[in-house]
Amino acid sequence: MKKFIHTYDNGFTVEGSAERNSDGGILVMGYWTQTPESPVRAPSMGWAVPSSAVAARLLHAIADGVVFLEPQIKTDIHGKRYVSARNAPLMSRRINADLLRLGY
């Protein structure tokens, strides 16, 4: 599947990608782009979805910036910096209803 990218006003970039997993489902992941100023850990968040149609809707929502909200740099207890963001309330079990609520 195609990758989808969204750049936020504060310069953070998230990339959504999807791949079929071993049990035939599809795993949609969000990855923060690493920059020299803010080395980050990937992935940010992932969802197991039942079909390629639902995966495409979720990827479009990621690309439109409605899945990951207010990204910012944080530091963990070991001094490593990473990007943290609030996530829109999306649960794999009810992903179809959650995407419809967001307009996808």
Give the residue, 38 or 27, on which the prediction is more confident: 27
Question: What phi-psi label fits residue 103: left (phi over 0), alpha (psi between -120 and 50 degrees) or beta?
Answer: left
- pLDDT value for 91: 83
Question: CB under 8 Å to 40, separation ≥6 — which residues?
Answer: 32, 33, 34, 81, 82, 83
Q: What's the predicted TM-score (pTM) here? A: 0.82
Interhelix angle 95-102/52-63, rounded to 10 degrees, is 40
Residues in the chain: 104
Structure tokens at 34: 């690493």
Average pLDDT, the chain: 84
For the residues 58-83, what does the mean pLDDT come to? 89
